[in-house]
Amino acid sequence: MRVVLLGPPGAGKGTQAQIIAGKLGVPAISTGDIFRANVSGQTELGRKAKVYMDAGDLVPDEITVAMVKGRLAEADATGGFLLDGFPRTIAQAEQLRSSLQDLGHGLDRVLELVVDEDELVRRLSGRRMLVDGQMVQRDDDKPETVRHRLKVYREQTAPLSGFYEGEGLLAPIDAIGSVEEVTSRAMRALGVHGDGEAGQPAAV
């Protein structure tokens, strides 16, 4: 299956991506994680991306699209994938569509995790991650940057709902509830039964 997971920062994309991809038996590909790994590894890509990430802005499309194309060409992604955090602009979505078309493929489903903005701000300001054995706040989870990231999401990424609705691929998922509840809503929208076997996707 080829699936995109959409949703604002703080909607639980990273957590759900890992679980859903595991159930589908496809790699979870997170552009944010790839950028962060490049920043820690002090690569050229990381150096370029960091400036935008620290400001809560999107890394330019040409850098991001080239990176994703390279990742999708790796052997483990040829049979399917779950994209977490990509696409984030209409231009990225168009590029993804045309690179998949070139390979004779298309997306099967776009899951959109839906959470209201007050809840997102609450979740993001309390979020911590484990780095070298210590729980730390991501630089871009600081309150000022969070507000800016949500604005960037509204302006540049939210229009993707309409784009994918027009393609008949969008499945909005209520992302308020326990991790398990949200996963099972997502699996239902993918038409996948508890044993991981694919059936007909639920109507959208």
Shortest Cβ 105–ligand AMP spacing (Å): 19
Instruction: State which residue, 11 or 186, has the beta carbon closest to ligand AMP.
Output: 11
Q: Are 13 and 24 in contact (CB under 8 A)?
A: no
Q: How far is CA 172 from CA 30, 71, 81, 157, in A?
A: 20, 26, 19, 15
153 binds ligand AMP (CB under 6 A): no
Q: What is the number of H-type helices and E-type strands within the chain?
A: 9, 7
Shortest Cβ 70–ligand AMP spacing (Å): 14
Q: Are 25 and 7 in contact (CB under 8 A)?
A: no
Within residues 15-44, the interface with ligand AMP by CB under 6 A covers 31-32, 35
Residue in 16, 2, 154 with CA at minimum distance from that of residue 79: 2
163 binds ligand AMP (CB under 6 A): no
9 binds ligand AMP (CB under 6 A): yes
C-alpha span between 8 and 84 (Å, rounded): 11
DSSP 8-state assignment for residue 139: G
Instruction: State which residue, 112 or 140, has the beta carbon closest to ligand AMP.
Output: 140
58 binds ligand AMP (CB under 6 A): yes
Footprint on this chain of ligand AMP (rule: CB under 6 A): 9, 31-32, 35, 52-53, 56-59, 64, 85-88, 92, 140, 149
